[in-house]
Structure 1
């Protein structure tokens, strides 16, 4: 085992990813919690703007996701040099892509927010956040490619430590810019936006240093000048279909957010608070899904298909038990937790009902997080996209409109639509995994030949 690669186990991968994801969510929750002491309207404005920023992260994620899977499979197959080549090309691709999309947020941010039906009184704050945080999204794009490479080599703790540092910087910046100690000006949303961007700059610098150190200088950066097509094609071959499922989900969420704006600003604020709390409920499921994806990538690359099959099912069982338990605990303390964000009795009452409904929602979500990640890692990336588009746009969005708007159940109706969508997709994904069709979709077989040909050229 070389210095640039560690022995992988599900636990060793999952716990640092679990903490890292928790810290990333805490970063967003810290913004929301601290802004809630400033203005509920500011919380709603930033919540809507963050929907667009999340779409950007999904767009960047398709390169990072493809990178992680291809690198994992090459490492499993013993092709370490090819893994390094793919990592360098991914950095260049996400840098260019990130610059383009960040510019789009700066220039067309107002138009995008208007398309989402954002009320005029929230436009100024939302636009400020979008132009600064969305404009700095290129930093996230490059960092995601670096993190995918580092994790695939087994160094998941590195990204965790960097995220911890970013959180500390963000909280300090929020405190300084929101509360104005030592005579500093109170900047509100502007201050939160600046704090987030500064933390991301620092995080990217540290992650790049870690990447160079962990790879022992074995990264062929000269490939950025040649930008070999074979590497980018192999990344996109896996990443684009994978991103399709995420992009469909995020765009459907944007549409549902638009529907919620029709209910009222109070409903929009409740959604933001509730979803911030819900993130912690399925945090472990997200971590175990990402850890499982890396592990299965290595196993499939090493042609250990049956071990990969059992690994997914084991991870699924663990994810269901833990997420269900966390949902129950969250439900017991739902009013106290919502009270951290607001003292509005109507928001607390409605949010409490939504959190109770997560007891039904979260087990269905686990199926999607764990099994879809496993299918991707095995090379079966297209099926989740086709099914996801069908379910999200054929079930979730129209059902949210039917129950939430047409029949007048509001956010409760929207949450019921979420439950139906997650369970339908989750059970069908599990069926797909059990068919074992993915065992005939080895990514190593599909990408090795073109990589060798490109390397020779």
Structure 2
């Protein structure tokens, strides 16, 4: 296996490997966030608050449907990393081909479902009437190109599972730059508004998918694609579903619950909707380092679980938590201080800036709580325990958060308690996740994984 395109994380300096793997993964996530952020900035400045609200308010709807697939992608990544760590080439190849063909089928289904569910989803979110037509237009076009996004994500998940986080980054850089030029051309030159932003995004996503899949076909590594091997292996699919289904349900339901949060925010008017959207885009960048480290921890733990390295996993957990906390603290301080200027990049309307600044400053320091729940969830998935993170996050981000919102909205008409619904859920999740992790006996799952993937 070429050391230039894969990373064996079962040996060597733990901190060095985590950083080397996480940096291109982080950079890739940053560029992926740029797709929607550039859309928001250009539309917000050219079209105005209604356009900004349309582009940003649809994020929970997109994440609800896409989130389910992302669980499948995470399941594929864990299964592939286990086979890679166990040096089981035959199992690795079956997992790769099963993942690709299932993703394509799911992409087609999601395209149709997303397109036709767009109107009722936006009505359910209490989307302001002034925003509704533009939001519908943007979201339906976005779903027409969802296959490109999904194929890129599964291709990059396969590459990350074997330690290659560099090439997905390169492709994202190329297509993110392309997306900026297409945004400027469609929105400003052709005056296509939010539709132009949506077309720019899906064209760029299709190109990133083509580049990623092309690498898998032309690679000389053991994970390369061959047309004659395309088939769905039932035993592999069962493993992927066992790990990925809980993560997918968790992501989809949590995103669906965010529709409720968005609906509460929308009740305060279009300026509040636009300000919340700007906050969401900004804070998403702050969350990226910890999320990238959590994904890195999943791959690290997955490979070492396949190799049976319990002590190395324990050291990796401590390093991942430390790196996530340091990165997050370094970002939330300037986010708090520069909040008004950052929000004004999206739209300079005083009310939009006021709301956006309020949301940032009420929430940003609570981001540190997520370092614990995200990292421990990533570790548990890496050892094959995906159900526990699912139930913990669902109970915290969905059940508790909705109870909190219901009570807060009936006790007061102020937006302040509504604006901290996210951190309240993060706090509860971090506490429960840590308690479970300490009591889970995850070491036994590592031993079982080692025996299973070394023999099958």
Pick the TM interval, shorter chain. over 0.9
- Contact kept in structure 2, 1:85 and 1:219, CA below 8 Å: no
Change (3 A) 1:59 1:394: closer
Matched, 1:248 2:257: no
Residue 446 of structure 1 deviates from its aligned partner by 8.0
Q: Show CA shifts across 1:283-308 (max 9, x none).
A: 21111111111111111111011211
Matched, 1:219 2:220: no
- Contact kept in structure 2, 1:33 and 1:341, CA below 8 Å: yes
Structure-2-length-normalised TM-score? 0.92
Name whichever of 416-425 and 397-406 sits farther off: 397-406
* Aligned counterpart, 2:420: 416
Matched, 1:344 2:344: no
Q: Show CA shifts across 1:394-448 (max 9, x none).
A: 32122123335641221x3123222121011112212222335122223635854
CA distance in 2, matches of 1:333, 1:119: 28
Residue 69 of structure 1 deviates from its aligned partner by 0.4
Matched, 1:108 2:114: no
- Correspondence for 1:13 among 6, 21, 44: 21
Matches within 5 A, 1:43-192: 43-180=52-189, 185-192=190-197
Partner SS, residue 183 of structure 2: helix
Q: Show CA shifts across 1:64-119 (max 9, x none).
A: 10110011111111112211210110111111111011011223322222222223
CA distance in 2, matches of 1:354, 1:118: 19
Structure-1-length-normalised TM-score? 0.92
* Aligned counterpart, 2:14: none
Q: Which runs of 5+ in 1 are unaligned?
A: 453-457
- Contact kept in structure 1, 2:86 and 2:453, CA below 8 Å: no
CA distance in 2, matches of 1:44, 1:170: 20
CA distance in 2, matches of 1:145, 1:129: 24
Partner SS, residue 73 of structure 2: helix
- Contact kept in structure 1, 2:271 and 2:355, CA below 8 Å: no
- Contact kept in structure 2, 1:74 and 1:444, CA below 8 Å: no
Matched, 1:29 2:34: no
Query: Which structure has the higher relative contact order (CA within 8 Å, separation 6+)?
Result: 2
Change (3 A) 1:134 1:45: same
Count of residue pairs brought into register by the alignment: 445
Residue 11 of structure 1 deviates from its aligned partner by 1.3
Residue 49 of structure 1 deviates from its aligned partner by 2.4
Residue 375 of structure 1 deviates from its aligned partner by 0.8
Matched, 1:303 2:308: yes
Q: Which runs of 5+ in 2 are unaligned?
A: 10-16
Q: CA RMSD in A?
A: 2.0
Residue 335 of structure 1 deviates from its aligned partner by 1.4
* Aligned counterpart, 2:404: 399
Change (3 A) 1:188 1:39: same
- Correspondence for 1:258 among 260, 263, 268: 263
Residue 359 of structure 1 deviates from its aligned partner by 4.2
Matched, 1:316 2:321: yes
Q: Show CA shifts across 1:347-369 (max 9, x none).
A: 32232232223343111111122
Matches within 5 A, 1:185-200: 185-200=190-205
- Contact kept in structure 2, 1:327 and 1:358, CA below 8 Å: no
- Contact kept in structure 1, 2:276 and 2:356, CA below 8 Å: yes
